[in-house]
Amino acid sequence: MSEFLVNLLGERLVNSEKAEVDVQALGSKLSLVGLYFGCSLNGPCKQFNASLCEFYSKFKKTSEHKDKLEIVFISSDQDQKHWQDFLQEMQWLALPFKDRHKKMKLWNKYKVTSIPSLVFVDATTGKVVCRNGLLVVRDDPTGKEHKPTALSPEPSPPLRTETRPVTTPSTSPEDMAPVVWLRCPPCRSLTRVLVESYRKVKESGQKFEIVFVSADRSEDSFTQYFSEMPWLAIPYSDEARRSRLNRLYGIQGIPTLILLDTEGHMITRQGRVEVLNDPECRLFPWHPRPVLELSESNAVQLHEGPCLVLFVDAEEEGELEPAKELIQPIAEKLLAKYKAKEEESPLLFFVAGEDDMSDSLRDYTNLPEAAPLLTILDMSARAKYVRDVEEITPAVVEQFVTDFLAEKLKPEPI
């Protein structure tokens, strides 16, 4: 356990007085670590910090599990004085200010896209226990109900075991496969497309169900919106279950469409992108594809972590196929490796042709106009890695990926 935490967080953390704390000694007691991503200049972070202080203080004073949990602040501050002032308001630990490399690795590893964010991870394995710790603090502000084991996902899929339809379903829960979880509004355009996709999949005879988890602010608005949907919903009155699903799947924005299989394992968090890109449902149940063709609808994924983007001289979608075939075996190999460890791949793969989307990305990241051009873009770190060679071969791509994962490449600023 201690060795794992040292690899995750480094050998030393600091407390509010900047005194060093030995991670190896700390790790021998812990079963859960909360990674708190934030910034001193961010208003929501300041507000959440006060709530987290209350939660942490009560938990450490009253819980029988007080020694099993620790929180570590991972700052995105650029000014050390601001960081130090903010740290003095905290009772927990923090990554040292200068350890920017470790901070970015944690941001990418846990797919943090906004702040404040609190991700609870198992202290032994680093696996995510709860992605949306903000809701844990909101729902249990004094820490009375919290214990380290309480955040763990249930062994059985919560939607299959607990979902109760608002209207009588045509399909029994045992027949739902895969289970899909939808949370919205505000995007009614997604709902319109999804209604048609739902109809097509059901008519094809495949086992499929959708469950609406509302973010509406009143039961009347929920009832009106749900009347447009042919699927099931968590009852609006069951706020506890809706909140638990938010915590379990780390929902930070809407609309979000998450696809699950019959065992409750996640197929993809990008259900919205998949449905909008596949109106004929040919790729159902929308398992992640190793390589994506860059488009306006999936460009948002460029901000979810490091992405390999192969730019080629192609104006039509069909012309991108040779580029996809070149990098697909490498992408599949990496996906399989991390899936075996029950982890998400540390790298997404894209091919990009000659279009407005690709031109905008090149301009934003200040890339040369060369084609083909092999790059890795890390938007959260505002870093890019460029391999400008005369010929791009599978061996060149594989070595580029290997060197990046081994941290042998020197980044350029975006």
> Does 260 lie in the same domain as 184?
yes
10 Å Cβ neighbour count for 161? 11
Average pLDDT over residues 328-357: 91
Mean pLDDT for the chain overall:
84
6 and 147, same domain (yes or no): yes
pLDDT at position 165 is 46
In this structure, the answer to whether residues 191 and 241 fall within a common structural domain is: yes
* Within a domain: 283: no
Average pLDDT estimate for 285-299: 88
In terms of domains, do 301 and 333 share one? Answer: yes
Task: Flag whether 192 is in a domain.
Answer: yes
Residue 246 has pLDDT above 50, yes or no: yes
CA-closest candidate to residue 357, choices 412, 408, 306, 314: 314
Mean pLDDT of 83-109: 91
Q: Domain for residue 206, yes or no? A: yes
Q: What is the pLDDT of residue 159?
A: 38
Judged against a pLDDT cut of 70, whether residue 151 lies above it is answered with: no
State residue 179's pLDDT score. 63
pLDDT bracket for residue 330 (50, 70, 90): very high
SS3 250: coil
Please indicate, yes or no, whether residues 143 and 87 belong to a single structural domain of this protein.
yes
pLDDT at 172 over 70: no
Residues 145 and 217 reside in one and the same domain = no
Q: What tokens appear for 112 in the block? A: 């943090």
Query: How many domains, in total, are found in the chain?
Result: 3
Residues 137 and 215 placed together within one structural domain of the fold: no
Amino acid at site 311: F
The Cα 164–Cα 235 span in angstroms is 7
pTM of the entire predicted model: 0.67
Question: Is the model more confident about 73 or about 132?
Answer: 73
Same domain as 365, residue 302? yes
What percent of the chain shows pLDDT beyond 90?
44
Q: For residue 243, what pLDDT is reported?
A: 81
Q: Is residue 169 part of a domain?
A: yes
Does residue 150 surpass a pLDDT of 60?
Answer: no
Residue 173 lies in a domain: yes
| Encoded tokens for 97 | 């200010």
Shared-domain flag, residues 186 and 72: no
Q: Residue 125: its pLDDT value, please?
A: 83
Question: Which among 131, 151, 171 is the end of a domain?
Answer: 151
C-alpha 128/C-alpha 35 separation (Å) is: 10
pLDDT at 351 over 90: yes
Any idea what DSSP says for residue 207?
-
Range of the domain at 337: 292-413
| Token pair listed for 384 | 């890019």
pLDDT of residue 211: 92
Residue 348: strand pairing partners: 307
Contact (Cβ atoms closer than 8 angstroms) between residue 22 and residue 11: yes
pLDDT at 181: 62
Name every residue whose Cβ is closer than 8 Å to that of residue 390 and which is 6 or more positions away in sequence. none
Q: Please tell me the distance from the alpha carbon of residue 310 to that of residue 376, in angstroms, as a whole number.
A: 9
Q: What is the pLDDT of residue 202?
A: 93
Give domain status of residue 116, yes or no: yes
| pLDDT number for residue 144 | 60
Whether 29 and 114 map to the same domain: the answer is yes
Which has more pLDDT, 1 or 140? 140
Are residues 146 and 164 located together in one domain of the fold? no
Of 113 and 14, the one with more pLDDT: 14
What integer pLDDT is reported at residue 182 of this predicted model?
64
The residue among 151, 175, 201 that closes a domain is: 151
Q: Which residue, 120, 151, 182, sits at the end of a domain?
A: 151
Q: Say which amino acid occupies 13.
A: L
- The rounded distance, in Å, linking the Cα atoms of 145 and 63 is 9
230 phi and psi angles, rounded to 5 deg: -90, 5
In angstroms, rounded to a whole number, what is the distance separating the alpha carbons of residues 36 and 52? 10
110 in a structural domain:
yes
What is the SS3 assignment for 310?
strand
Q: Is residue 27 part of a domain?
A: yes
Q: Are residues 194 and 247 in the same domain?
A: yes
Give the CATH number, domain containing residue 392.
Answer: 3.40.30.10
Percent of the chain exceeding pLDDT 70 equals: 87
| pLDDT tens, residue by residue, 3-21 | 888 888 999 999 988 889 9
Tell me, what's the pLDDT at 347?
94
Please, which pLDDT band fits residue 135 given cuts at 50, 70 and 90? confident
